[in-house]
Structure 1
Amino acid sequence: MEHSYHRFSELFAQLGLPSDADAIRDFVMQHSPLPQDVRLEDAPFWTPAQATLLREALVEDADWAEVADQLNAALRSPSTAPA
């Protein structure tokens, strides 16, 4: 089974969010730090559709899991947000 590599900006586009580097950085800064006891997909700033996409990416979709994990890490430590 071949896995695709998705860029951080592609995940933001999938989430329906602006996906340029400045917008990603602004989003991460605005929503960080995400408390350690809050799961990424349960964060209050997601729409239901965004939360579902993230839940599926983390649990079911290996193609998106790595970049979803990167988003999780970036929201807990804003200085690590890749573009």
Structure 2
Amino acid sequence: MSARELAVQMQRRKGGLRARTDMADPTTLRMPVVLRDHLEACAKANFRSLSAEMCARLEASTVGESIDEHGAIVRAAHRSSK
């Protein structure tokens, strides 16, 4: 599944583009201009805001992760499609 398909699927599960009440307070993030420009171009290509693009990418990067009782990140084993 491509990153775009995953993002669309995740957005559908969350009820689409409706206003969300479970959002955190605004967060300031400093990043290189080149990275911001790249993310803005990707957001435009995916018909999303910069914030939505960043959230989709962060959520996709945490799929299969959980936190154990000691606070350590546990990643699900990756299965090869071969």
Note whether the superposition's TM-score is higher than 0.5: no
- Which structure ranks higher in relative contact order (CA pairs < 8 Å, sequence separation ≥ 6)? 1
Higher-Rg member (1/2): 2
Identify, as 1 or 2, the structure richer in strand.
Answer: 2
TM-score under structure 2 normalisation? 0.30
Identify, as 1 or 2, the structure richer in helix.
Answer: 1
